[in-house]
Amino acid sequence: MALAIVRDICTACGDCESICPTESIIPFKGVYKIVADTCTECEGKFDTAQCLDVCMEDDCIVPA
């Protein structure tokens, strides 16, 4: 399973990019996107997805 960033909600703050342990969050067309092929939702490393914990925007990061 992977997560996705809702472009219309993303503010491009970059907080999620630096905290992603699999480096799956990358800049994309002025905001960010999550590369589904490498996103693990932090399973095996953390109890919750780190990007969800750091994102300040409600419903910005959702299941893909």
Domain total in the chain: 1
Whole domain around residue 37: which residue ranges? 3-63
Domain CATH number, residue 38: 3.30.70.20
Cβ-count burial of 58 within 10 angstroms (0-12 exposed, 13-18 middle, 19+ buried)? exposed
- Taking only the tens place, the pLDDT of each residue in 11-54 is 999 999 999 999 999 999 999 999 999 999 999 999 999 999 99
pLDDT of residue 37: 97
Instruction: Give dist(CA 57, CA 12) in Å, integer.
Output: 11
pLDDT above 90 for 1: no
